[in-house]
Amino acid sequence: MRIRRIRAVTRKEWKQIVRDTRSLILSLGIPMLLIVLFSWALKLDVSNIKLLVIDRDKTPVSRDYIRRFAHIEYFNIVGYTDSYADVNRGINLGDIKAAIVIPRKFAADLKTGRGTEVQLIADGTDPLTAHILVGYVSAITSAFSQEYILHYLSQAGITAGATPLDARVRVWFNPELESKNFIIPGLIAVIMMVIAGLLTSLTVAREWERGTMEQLISTPVKVSELLIGKLIPYVELGLIDFVLALLVGTLVFNVPLKGSLLLLFLLTLIFLVGAMSLGILISIVAKKQVQASQMAILATFLPSFILSGFVFPISNMPLILKAITYIVPARYFVTILKGIFLKGVGLTVLWWEGLLLIAFSVLIFVVALRKFKKEL
């Protein structure tokens, strides 16, 4: 293997990339566009839930309970009604997400200590929002109930003792519980996987379609030199994409970067080599640009988006899907990005993911070498 030959192939590939201005602009612009769109559109935070109230008690106590929902950002009380038909119509039309029903004798039952119930009607067509909504309402109701008991005990001249169990919650790594801090690192991994696969999936196929592969075959360039020479420019281009995505994530969306920048770039380089090698392997197998691009989408986007743990927790998946996730490189890169971005951990924690990425990169590149035949 000669460095001079690799350099010549790399130079030739860079010239080809620069000549194709539209593809170059798309390869640099699409990651930025996807990060901005996904970060704004894909939010797991639940707020401004439109709420309808049926207050059948109409007492100061019931109004005080309702005020608990009006004074926090999670709820938006859109109106009051006395009819379940209005609730049904509002949920069917999408005008409201939930309704609170306060029964008659709400205040009287609380004063006598008999206890009472409040009904929550939630739109279950969006189970994530409904699940979080139930948690919010339960927490507000529990706090109101405790304050109400303490208030009437104090009025009766009874001093309440200390609460037997007091939970002091402390959230590590993302204390504000901002979904963008969770989404953007994972999104960078998915986008890098897709872009890497698409960029290199056309390299060898394009040579076959344009008839220039015959010229390369006739040269003394070895298969390993040819593939490495083709790989280097796209890895460099992928690193440029990563830097741009990193700047957008940290400067525009203020995602914290707590870990080592050097370690982040080193592990990203390993990941890109594996992802680009996968694209080259697809290009070798397909030999047609259209077919190669379709195969690249299937091999990169769907597994990375669904099976990497970016959106859907791997622990909740069926056993067979859990097994498949082990061959998805984006799974390890998502863990690496979240670990370095949010936790600030180093190789002492991420060495296993880094080792698996190295194994994946070497394996895919070796398979690509075996599959490529320097012959017509």
Res 374: pLDDT: 63
**Phi and psi angles of residue 4, each rounded to the nearest 5 degrees, phi first:** -60, -40
Q: Which residues pair with 101 in a beta bridge?
A: 54, 119
DSSP code for 267: H
Res 179: pLDDT: 79
Please report how many Cα atoms fall inside a 13 Å half-sphere around the Cα of residue 230, on the Cβ side. Answer: 29
Instruction: Give a three-class secondary structure readout of 61-123.
Output: HHHHHHHHHHCCCCEEEEEECCCHHHHHHHHHHCCCCEEEEECCCHHHHHHHCCCCCCEEEEC
Please report how many Cα atoms fall inside a 13 Å half-sphere around the Cα of residue 29, on the Cβ side. Answer: 6
Q: In sequence order, what DSSP letters do the residues of 36-65 get, joined into one string?
A: HHHHHH-------EEEEEEESS-SHHHHHH
Amino acid letter, 215: Q
312: CB partners within 8 A, 6+ apart: 306
Say what the pTM is.
Answer: 0.81
Q: Cβ(286)–Cβ(295) under 8 Å? A: yes
User: Which three-class secondary structure state does DSSP give residue 175?
Assistant: coil
Res 291: pLDDT: 85
The residue ranges of every structural domain in the chain are: 3-43+177-371, 49-155
Write the burial class of residue 100 (CB in 10 Å: 0-12 exposed, 13-18 middle, 19+ buried).
buried
- Across the beta sheet with 119-122, the strand order is 75-80, 49-55, 98-102, 119-122
Dist. CA 121–CA 334, nearest whole Å: 37
Dist. CA 101–CA 211, nearest whole Å: 73
Dist. CA 141–CA 154, nearest whole Å: 20
For 305-362, the pLDDT digits (tens) are 889 988 788 988 899 999 999 999 999 999 999 999 999 999 999 999 999 999 999 9
Q: With a cut of 50, list the residues of the chain below it in pLDDT.
A: none
Res 154: pLDDT: 66
The tokens describing 145, both together, are 């109930």
Res 56: pLDDT: 92
CATH superfamily membership of 49-155:
abc type-2 transporter like domain (3.40.1710.10)
Rg (CA), the chain: 29
